[in-house]
Structure formats: C-alpha cells, structure tokens
Chains A and B, each alone.
Chain A
Amino acid sequence: METINIICVDDQQEVLDSVMRDLRPLTPLVRLEEASGVADCLKLMEQIDDDGDFVAIVISDQVMPGESGTELLGKVAADPRFAKTRKVLLTGQATHADTIDAINEGQINNYIEKPWQPEKILAIVKRLLTLYILDAGIDYKEYMPILDQQTLFSKLR
C-alpha cells in the first residue's frame, strides 16, 4: 500500500513536537514527518516522491531562518508533482503582507494562527486530507477512520 505523508515544517523543535502530537490520531494510517526548514522540507519531499509515495499536506511556519513559509508553499504550488498537495500556514508572526503573499503566491488552503486549538488543527487536517485522497484518486475506504465524513459525503454525492 502507498504511504500518505503529512509534513510539518518549523525551525522550533518544541512547536514541531506539539503539532506532531496533535495530529497523532491520524497515525498509523498516514505518516507524519517533520522538517526543520524550507531546504529540509524540499529534500524530504523529493525523497518521498522518489519512493513513489504521496505528500498530502504541508503545514509550515512562516518565520524561519533562510526562506519563509510562504516561499516554501509557493515552491510546492509551482511543482507539478505536488499539484494536489494541500498547503497550510501555521504562524503567529505573519504580517499583513505575508498573509497576502501566502494566499497569492503560496496558494495556501488554510491559515492557522499560533497558538492553535488541537481539535481545530486536527479537523482542518482531516478535511484537507479527505480532499487530497479524493483528488489523487486513492482508495478512500482504507482511510475511513481518519477522514472527514461530511466532506467525504458532500464530495461523493
């Protein structure tokens, strides 16, 4: 069976630990990966693609040393291999201009503010995961326990 990955990107390990923990209910049906920065995330995505696996969602921090989250999500959006990958900006420090860029350049699907509510981030990720699985033509039945039922039914109707 193929592996579906969700990648979290943040330069602060404590933040990564928290996001990973909040999304743990999705495992082991999907694989959670963490990346410490933009370059690391792109390398990881390359590897996942080489293995023939999927990147369903990238959840990125905005302010990181080196490139920003918006720049990362823009690159992901521009890569045809990851055209269906859902993009989330998770940040407490984005300015108005960053937010505009994130929507226009990063083509983000969701914007989550720090500090976040665990149930909310899990609900958002479930919804985006459901959309990705349907979009990518993956057999959704395998993933039923972690899919957003409402999204699933409205799409299948």
Chain B
Amino acid sequence: MIPLSDNITRALERLKRVYFSDAGRTVELAAGELLIGQGERTRRMYRIMEGSVISYREEDNQPSTHMPTESEGRRHEVFRADEGSFVCVQSFFSRAFRSSTSLYALEDTRLAYIDDTTPIVEQYEYGPFAQQFLPVVIHELAARNDRIFGRAAEREEAMRLLQRSEMAALLGQLSAGIAHELNNAVGVIARRTEFMAETLTEILESQDKLNAQLFLKGYEDTSFLSASDLRPVVRHYERDLGMSQNAARVLAHIAPSEAEYKKLSWRFVRNVKRNFRIWEMGHDLRDMQMAANHATGIVRAVKQMGAPSSAREPGVDVVQTVKDALHLLHNKLKHVTLKTEFKPLPALTADKSELMQIWTNIVQNAYDALTIEKRENPCITVTTGIFRAEGVSLLPQEYVTVTITNNGPRIPQEHIEKIYQPSFTTKKQGLDFGLGLGLSIIRRIVDSYNGTIGLTSTDEETSFTINLPTTQIHGND
C-alpha cells in the first residue's frame, strides 16, 4: 500500500524474522477487542502478523474494553493498519510509552511485539538498535504522510460538495419563491382571459350570430400558417374581394385554401370584411391564453428544479413522458426534423415530472447545439428501448433506455469532462443564457434512480443515452 524501496522492504522482512518471531511475545485478539486504550501505558511496539486493527481518538478519553458502536461516545477514526504494519511506534521510540489513540482489533488478529528489554540482535553486522529499526520509522512516516494527504484531499472534496449543495439549496429556495409569485400572477391572467372570452361570446351571441362566429374562429384558431404561406392568399383575397389587407389576412387565416373558402357563406365573408377586428380580438385572447399556459409550464419546471423531494409512483409509462416532453418543446422543434422510434417499455416506479425534466433538458440542449452552429438539415432523433446488463450480478439487470441524438457539432473532450459540473455552460449568448445547472441536475436525478448517462460525440452526431433500471435496488429508492 505504501510505496517503499526494495532495501527497506528487505530490511523489514529481516526485522520480522529476527525480532517478531518469538511465540512468547505475541498477543491474540478477537474481532472488536481492545489492544490498548488511549493514554494507557505500554512499553511495547507491535507488528501485525495477521488481521488488522483500527485506531480511534476518543474525545472523552474513556476507552472501553470493546470497540465502541456508532452511538457510544465521541470518537474519530485515525487509521487502519493491516498485516505487516507496526503500531505504537511513536510511543516506543519517543520513550513516552503511552498510546496516543485506542487500538481495537477489526477482525481476529495476531500481533507480535518487542519491548524496551528486547536484546539487540546481530549488532556487529547491522548496527545499533536505532539503526536497525530505521526502516520501521520510515515505514511509519510514509504511512502517516499518506494518511495526511488522503485526509486533505477528502476534506477538500467534502467542502466542494458542501458548497455545491448549498448553492443548489439556495437556488431551490429562490426559485420556489419566484415560482409561487409568478404562479399567482399568471393564474390571474389565464383565468381572466377565459372569463373575458366567455363573456364576449355570450354578448356577441345575443347581438349578432355572425360576429360571435367570427370571434370564436379567432379564439379557437389552431392553424399554424407561416407568413410566407399566408401572403399569396392574402393578396388573392385583397384583389378578388376588394378587401383591405387586414381583413384579407383574417380571411386567409379562416380559409387558407379555396376548398375552405367555399364552405363560408357570402354573409360571413361580408362580415369578415367589415368586422375582421372581432376575429383579431378572439385571436388575441387565444394568444394571451397560450402565453399564460407557456408561462405556467415554465413556472412548474422551475418549481420542480427547486424541490428535490419527488413523488414516485409505480406504473409510469416512460414513452409517454418522452412524448409529453417533446410536446412541450413542440414550438421550438418545428425548426428541426424530429425522428422518433418508440418501443413499448415496461412501466417504471418513477416521478413523471422528473423524467420529463430529463428529456426536455437533453432535447433542449440538442436543439441549442443545432441552432448555435447553424447546421444544415438539423435533426434530432429520439429512440426508446430495453437494455440488459448481463453477467454483472450486483447491478440491476434490466434497464429502460432513452437515446437522444442530434447531428450537431462534436462536443470537445475538455467539455465532456466538465459537462456535468454545475455552472459549466457554453450558452453565454443573449437572454437565453444557461446557468449550467441543467445537466448537473439531470445527473442528480438519474443517480437517484441508480441509472446511468452515456455520452458519445463524433463529428457527425452527438448522443445522450439514459439508462434507468426497471427494478430499484433495496434501500436506494
């Protein structure tokens, strides 16, 4: 474990043979038994021949005869030593003859010892006692160094994790607060828009059926026509029906084709010419409602981000959550080709909103990668399937996998290394900037399901694969 030169290893072998082979100077301990208590006097130095010991610093300075359990007293593990290691080295050579920690056997352990009365062997050839035992001191120093460096690294890592979780907690509180306020405000807009639409429909119904019809056509408009599709139709209506551009535009929305135009009565068309603004009013209310729904969706997502506690329930259809996520992003994805291939999957015990968060985040990233670099024929492929991990019995056997692939640029190696770190982001442009939290949150969610994230990136395509086990390991739910 501790790197030592061959010379020292050889010297240690000799010391074992010469000084620690006396059957009369051995101690045998059962697992958990005390070798020596903290502060207790001993004139011995031990070599572990078999088994291992653990060293505790006792805060209340009251070593018990048996290894304390978690709940007993305040104590800190100092080190563990196994076969070939020496203990009580410092107390022996410093002539303090007092143990600075309590030592317990971790398992059934046999130790050999020397004490201050042990005679020197082969002094002529190997020098005085101190010189002969120098390798033991070096071994001890090396072990202590190793321990200190290890501890320093651990502490740093712990601090880092603490900072990260504090940041996440702060962001969670912040977003929960904002989400609550926004929810109320957006809720008012959404509800009142609906009331207005209902009231207006009723008023118009009682006054003029044609206007009520016109209003509802605007309010319930579901056509997604682009400006370039509409333009020739608008021009056609302007010319042929002598309409204003604005009225023709409304008519083009209602009847984008000749076939649909023929379904309209001449009285209705005449009314569009006069009262196209009523359609626009309906359409405005529709837009307001859609905007409010959109804002509600964003608020919900932000809220989930801030609330790690999730409600997992059995029977979740993963494919459906993927479809829902794609639906949420529908508006954005109209600029890219979306290919899907869904194989039916076994139901999972999961939180739907968490799963949707994973999919929307990765699809959104894929979309961003495609638009930032302005790829030609941008394409996102989403597939689902089942993966079996064979031969690895400790891990779950069956996984549900979702793969999201885009034909965007390769992710550079140095980015891949940092991609799950919070605050790592490449999206620094404009208002749509990223906090760099997306993938770190996804990682946290996937970890909590004992799942894995795979990432491959080539010049042609980049794909993220999420594997979620179909069975949860006990104790990790």
Contact = CB atoms under 8 A, between A and B. Distances in A.
Interface in A36-88: 36, 40, 43-44, 63, 65-67
B430 A43 contact: no
A5 to B, nearest CB: 11
Nearest to B432: A93
A7 B374 CA distance: 24
Interface stretch (B77-85, B92-100, B225-233): B225-233
Interface string A16-45: 110001001001100111111000100110
B291 A14 contact: yes
Q: Which of A13, A44, A94 has the most CB of B within 10 A?
A: A13
Nearest to A114: B431
Contacts of A43: 228
Nearest to B376: A66
* Interface secondary structure of A, over-half rule: mixed
A92 interface: yes
A96 to B, nearest CB: 10
Interface in B231-284: 231, 244-246, 280, 283
Nearest to A8: B227
Contacts of B283: 17
The size bracket of the interface on A is 20 to 34
Interface string B277-317: 00010010001001100000000000000000000000000
Contacts of A154: none
A35 B431 contact: no
Nearest to A93: B430
A65 B335 contact: yes
Contacts of B224: 13
B371 interface: yes
A95 B224 CA distance: 30
Nearest to B367: A65
Given A14-B291, A34-B227, A24 B246 contact: yes
Contacts of A24: 246
A17 B228 CA distance: 14
Contact of A31 (B226, B245, B430, B432): B245
A27 B227 contact: no
Contacts of A28: 244-245
A98 B231 CA distance: 30
Given A92-B431, A95-B430, A98-B430, 17 more contacts: A13-B227, A14-B290, A21-B280, A27-B245, A28-B244, A28-B245, A33-B231, A34-B231, A35-B227, A36-B226, A36-B227, A43-B228, A65-B335, A67-B374, A93-B430, A93-B431, A93-B432
Interface of B: 224, 226-228, 231, 244-246, 280, 283, 287, 290-291, 335, 371, 374, 429-432
Sort A-B residue pairs by CB-CB distance and give the 5 closest, nearest first. A93-B430, A65-B335, A34-B227, A36-B227, A36-B226
